[in-house]
Amino acid sequence: MCLYEVYIDFAKVYGGWIHCAGSLSPWNTHLGSEEYEPDAKTREGLPKATGSDDGTDINSFSYYYFGTGTVEDSSTANAYHYGLTPEVKVRRNGTTSVEKHYALGRIAREVADVQPDARTVYMGDDGKYTGLFLFVADWRGDLSRGTLYAGKWEQTSPKGSDGGSADIQWIKLGHASDAEIKDMVDFQGIEFTDIFDVRNQDPDDPTFTKVHTYTGIEWLKLRTSNDLGMSQEDIAKAAAFLETRRYAAYLGATTEFNKMEGVTHNARDKKTYMVSIPKLLGSYDDNPATNPGAVDGNFCPQDKVCDGDNIKYSEAMRTLFIGEDTGYRQNDYVWAYNVDTEKLSLILSVPAGAEATGLQVVDDYNGFAYIMGNFQHPGEFSDGNPDWEDNPDDGTPGIESLLNSKWNNRLKAAIGYIGTEDGALPAIK
């Protein structure tokens, strides 16, 4: 067996942007993600909308990656090069190649999950006021060309404590290839205002459509022509694949989801799971009278999932694995939920303030099984709970000191897998 050090060069695709979770395609390539796509509207100098959740800093990225301008003002990076799906191929000799898929749209994607047909891809969208997206490739095993859809939630039962049930209507956004959209960006030089006319306040004009998305509350009007000489059809195509979430809202799709990022599938039962699973989620309760854990900053019940993030399904174990990313509990957990027995089990806790991420499950690899995971940003205290910090008045070290000593002043993370004292688990078949 030969081992290689594998380096992945993103230079030809303008670098990588806020990589998050990934998946293995049926044809054995790595499908990555670029979360929290930079807002092309503000990149063009237009003001943010009220309620925008975008906190990205493309200027400093541009400065440090391309070495141009200043940290505060570097114009080299083009927002439309980011928020895409990178596909990485690793060959037997250790060489690699990267291709970014424009045809899957541009959102705060955490993972693209390809179904067993090797054509259908479900994608979540991270943040507030986000969407649910579906891509159907023209050909098996090739994500460079296909049709993109956005989901519209149509409630079919009373919401109740578990959210109730709904049908999903899929609204077609458009059909395109990577090459078509990339050409619009690299050669035509398309910008946000070539696609939409936008207002941050109600223009009292019925030709504008009000939308509420991750980038805030806006009034949009799709242009019918622009200075680039594009046809109305091509402008709509640009909207679908470069301003995917805004265009989805513009056409009436649902963009009111929150933390809808994780997605995985169960091939045997022909089911796809999203990370926002009402049946398993605990409700927020910061009242110590009804939730004693609230005193210690644990605002979610300890026997339920709190702000699920990553999610993976094991066919052999018939089990969903769910990782958390929450500020409502001191420690984030990884859970295992058997879909047959409906038993939810806590299997891993990560350091206070850290996110349980990097979840991956391999049932059988060379005779072994791996439940892989990692954590990042230990000590990211989101609610300012005083019990987490050092108390100079009584000299009591808090969690902060312990984290600093254990995890290199909270700059260190860890990656690993759940196994036995001797190593990996035996293969599960």
218-226: long-range contacts (C-beta < 8 A, 24 or more apart)? Answer: 218/49, 218/246, 220/196, 220/246, 220/250, 221/196, 221/197, 222/195, 222/196, 222/247, 222/250, 223/194, 223/195, 223/196, 223/197, 226/194, 226/195
Residue 4 is predicted with a pLDDT of 59
Residue 158 is predicted with a pLDDT of 82
Distances (CA, A) of 378 to 295, 307, 382, 400, 406: 21, 17, 11, 9, 10
Torsions phi, psi for 220 (to 5 deg): -115, 150
Reported in sequence order, the residue ranges of 102-240 that DSSP labels E, i.e. its strands, are 112-114, 120-123, 125-130, 133-139, 142-155, 166-177, 196-199, 209-213, 216-222
Closest CA to 137 of 4, 27, 219: 27
List, for residues 279-331, the tens digit of each pLDDT value.
788 888 889 899 888 877 788 989 999 988 999 999 999 999 999 998 888 89
Domain ranges of the chain: 11-276, 284-290+323-429
Handedness of CA 378, 8, 75, 46 (dihedral sign): negative
Residue 26 is predicted with a pLDDT of 96
Cβ distance 120 to 105 under 8 Å?
no
Angle at which helices 178-186 and 232-242 pack, to 10 degrees? 100
Low-confidence ranges of the chain (pLDDT < 70): 1-4, 160-162, 277, 381-398
Residue 187 is predicted with a pLDDT of 97
> String of b and e for 362-384 (b: at least 16 CB within 10 Å)?
bbeeeebbbbbbbbbebbebeee
Residue 162 is predicted with a pLDDT of 65
CB atoms < 10 A from the CB of 359, how many?
Answer: 22
